[in-house]
Amino acid sequence: MYKRIIFSAALLLWVFTASAQQFTLSGNIVDDTGAPVPFASILVKGTTRGTSANNDGNYSLNLAKGQYEILFKAIGYKEELKRVNISGNTKLDVRLAVAAYQLNAVTIRPGGEDPSYAIIRKAIRKRNGYLNEVNAYSAEVYLKGLQKLLAAPKKFLGRDINQIAREYGLDSNRRGIVYLSESQSKLTFEKPDKIHEEMISSKVSGSNRAFSFNRASDIRVNMYENYQNWEQISNRPLVSPIADNALSYYNYKWLGTSEENGETINKIQVTPKHSYDPAFAGIIYIMEDSWRLHSFDLEITKSANLNIVDTLKVKEQYVPVGKKVWMPSTAKMEFNGGIFGFKFGGYFIAVYSNYNLNPTLNQKEFAEVLKIPQGVNKKDSVYWQQERPVPLTTEEITDYQKKAILAKKRESKPYLDSLDRIGNRVTANKLLLTGILERDRYKKQYTYFSPLLTSFLYNTVEGFTFNYNVNYVKQIDSINNKYLRLGGNVRYGIRNERFHGFVDGTVPLSGSTLSFAVGNSMFDINNTNPTSPLFNTFNSLFRRLNQLKLYERSFVTVSLNKRIYGGLRGGITIDYSDRQWLPNTSLYSITNLQNYEFTSNNPLTPKADNPLFPRNQSFTVNLHASYNFSNRYETYPTGRRYLPSPYPTLTVNYTRAIRNVFGSDVDYNFVKATLSKEDISLGPIGKSSFYIGAGKFFGVKQIYFTDYAHFYGNEGVFFVNAPNAFLILPLYEFSTPESYLEAHYEHNFGGYFLSRVPLIRKLKLHEIVNVNYLATPQIGNYVEFAAGVQLYGIRFQMGRSFRTDGHSTSTALIGLALPMRPARPN
């Protein structure tokens, strides 16, 4: 026991003594002209411990007492090795000479190729080996991100940008830092793609509560991979200069060799074969004999059809870890761009240190891709002064100081109330067009009143209709980010003189969500809701096309949904409804087009308002589950966020309609299953999406048209895309009470073909093709094909359909492509 106490005391003494003996090596790194060398790498030779200079060339490195050999490196400069004796805080300025690359005597015969091509071919052959040479590793990563607004209009969409700029601490010209953040993380990797990142500390300028957006996995650049999939920046994957197919995308030029620590480094210039190719331009450095990457300095510009950014620069340096393996020491992404009069620029930098190529792995941890524990954003300035490896620039220091004052002000109740008083003012524009948002930031709640203009509708069943919604949302658990939502609706049909109303809401429970809805309203007979009430209003008033078929429903619905485990979710919905079909009561239209005539509210007898079904009651119990074959998630102080899966999502639904419960008339069983996946990358030729669904009724004793399996069809020129959407399918004709099989496939080429056409490539058009299929016992087989282009989310397509009976239809289509739009129920 005494030995343990003595040992513990000695250990504590050593820890505090070691901590007390940490000294700072700092200085400035310049080039031959005296100009600073930004973001140079500083490494303790023989280790993976190091840091990076900041944008002004200043660096800082904490070291214990002793003698060290320090390497100073920067892409394009000759490496410098300095021996230092650390016995106190030490100042060491360094001058880096531009690297001299010797052009050896090389004879290139007429028609012969540049020597770089032989080097590149060898690097390509080695690529896959270096990609997979490290089975696993862990490392400490420091990240810093900075984004600046370089220009902005005075007003945008009616909003005063000057006022917003003052709130964010920008200058009078609406310029300055809008995002500055630092973080430190422990990163663990296991091939092929398992990652676990735990944030150790986080600091965000202007907020005492926020967490850094910086992620080591986001800044990870691996040119040994064939493609860089940066989806937000480029619609097409970017091709690596040493990808298997790189010779089809790049031209190369050998610029000579230099010597570094006994290694011969080849300097090679790379340029895209075509300006529109998703390829980089710049310099890559490849080591002789091993043919591995030493470093690279590359950029890609808007000529390659980038999104938002005009230029993206990527720099990365590698260092030896162990005898044979080289790993990244620093990585930097620098960008600039503009949109709608706003111009911006910035960078993200990552500094890697303390690599371990044989880490102790816990396989369960890899399900947790990111972990941000409580308190990581509470580190004080003393901590950051000691732990920050990259010194702040004067501009960054000023930004932290200025926005710390603003942060305290923005979190105060008087300030939040003042913002609410301004934002909650009722204007004619809000009342009519955008809706009224009554917000209380301090209490974390808001009430939204829908706009009047979109609340006035028209349909042939009700005539002119007032349909108004109010929603209330309040955060009831800030730690777990849980919200209470309550809503209300009132609806009145002027022609049929029927009043409707309902209330609904969602209540977060421990690990689950309870939803409810009580009241009555008008509903589309097709429960996938393919027809927008606003579109139907326009078509009815101006084209005499009443595509929307309605019925009245009084209901009580309760749902309980829960994440059972990882990507497995399940729930139960119990519904009681009283359903009544109603006839048309109004045939008014503003225009009276020839050959256009209103149809009845019975889609099966369009020329006569025969009742589609008698008034009936239904009691149903629905069990549903979905699984995306992945359990990956991120953990925040507010709770878990599950990540999109690389695998398809499987859903299963079972509905039991029970007779004689509360007078229920229906009696049937229905089961359906779907398998779907969006944005499946096919490399440079774009992305595919698919949706497959099948369903079957059995044990049917009583069923009505509203209970049928319906499909998300379209009968107009305009459509809104969804994974299970048909482009030309009639809205009600193919609904079935038996069984069905549907399949949908879409491919987005992302500009693969049109980017090669001069002038057209500037439009950044996406080529889209669709194939949709449906089979039911009633119609046999139905197939439709469509092809066209997408411009900023708006689609222009030509479609054609074919049926078993030989009937076919062709039409032009204009659609709105909404990302990650959920499938409609059927």
Per-residue pLDDT for 697 more than 90? yes
* Mean pLDDT calculated for residue range 175-194: 89
Task: Look at 538 and 87; give whichever has higher pLDDT.
Answer: 538
Residue length, the chain? 826
**Please, what is the end-to-end C-alpha distance for the chain in angstroms?**
71
Using pLDDT thresholds of 50, 70 and 90, give the confidence band for residue 17. very low
Cα distances (Å, whole numbers) of residue 676 to 46, 227, 682 = 51, 25, 16
Point out the domain boundary residue: 408, 432, 455: 408
Q: What pLDDT does 756 receive?
A: 82
What tens digit of pLDDT does each residue of 92-122 get? 888 988 887 777 655 555 567 899 999 999 9
Phi first, then psi, for residue 159 (nearest 5°) are -95, 145
Residue 575 lies in a domain: no
Regarding whether 216 and 69 lie in a shared domain, the answer is no
Q: What pLDDT does 822 receive?
A: 52
Point out the domain boundary residue: 95, 120, 155: 95
| 18-27, 542-551, 591-600, 718-727: the lowest-pLDDT one | 18-27
- Residue among 371, 393, 380, 363 nearest 144 (CA): 393
Q: Please list the residues that pair with 558 across neighbouring strands.
A: 516, 574
Regarding whether 156 and 41 lie in a shared domain, the answer is no
Provide the domain count of the chain.
Answer: 3
Q: What pLDDT does 8 receive?
A: 32
Regarding whether 782 and 691 lie in a shared domain, the answer is yes
Burial environment of residue 374 by CB neighbours within 10 A (0 to 12, 13 to 18, 19 or more): exposed
- Residue among 315, 233, 308, 316 nearest 278 (CA): 233
Regarding whether 71 and 152 lie in a shared domain, the answer is no
Residue 309 lies in a domain: no
Q: What pLDDT does 826 receive?
A: 58
Point out the domain boundary residue: 408, 426, 454: 408
Regarding whether 161 and 33 lie in a shared domain, the answer is no
Residue 29 lies in a domain: yes
Residue 434 lies in a domain: no
Regarding whether 819 and 689 lie in a shared domain, the answer is yes
Residue 36 lies in a domain: yes
Contact 180, 146 (CB under 8 A): yes
Cα distances (Å, whole numbers) of residue 730 to 49, 710, 737 = 66, 10, 16
Regarding whether 689 and 822 lie in a shared domain, the answer is yes
| 44-58, 234-248, 558-572, 679-693: the lowest-pLDDT one | 44-58
Cα distances (Å, whole numbers) of residue 209 to 44, 201, 407, 440 = 35, 13, 9, 19
Sorted by sequence, the CB contacts under 8 Å of residue 774 that are 6+ apart come out as 711, 726, 729, 734, 740, 741, 742, 781, 782
* Mean pLDDT calculated for residue range 383-407: 84
Phi first, then psi, for residue 685 (nearest 5°) are -95, 10
| 63-67, 152-156, 195-199: the lowest-pLDDT one | 152-156
Supply 491's token pair: 């609806």
pTM, rounded to two decimals: 0.84
Regarding whether 142 and 35 lie in a shared domain, the answer is no
CATH code of residue 82: 2.60.40.1120
Residue 122 lies in a domain: no
Q: What pLDDT does 42 receive?
A: 85
Regarding whether 167 and 51 lie in a shared domain, the answer is no
Residue 73 lies in a domain: yes
What tens digit of pLDDT does each residue of 483-515 get? 899 999 999 999 999 999 999 999 998 889 999
Residue 650 lies in a domain: no
Mean pLDDT value across the chain: 87
Q: What pLDDT does 54 receive?
A: 87
Cα distances (Å, whole numbers) of residue 343 to 203, 339, 503 = 25, 7, 45
Containing structural domain, residue 164:
133-220+341-408
Regarding whether 47 and 144 lie in a shared domain, the answer is no
Regarding whether 826 and 731 lie in a shared domain, the answer is yes
Q: What pLDDT does 675 receive?
A: 97
Phi first, then psi, for residue 493 (nearest 5°) are -95, 120
Q: What pLDDT does 1 receive?
A: 34
Regarding whether 146 and 75 lie in a shared domain, the answer is no
∠ CA 630-676-695 to the nearest 5 degrees?
Answer: 120
| 155-159, 178-182, 317-321, 678-682: the lowest-pLDDT one | 155-159
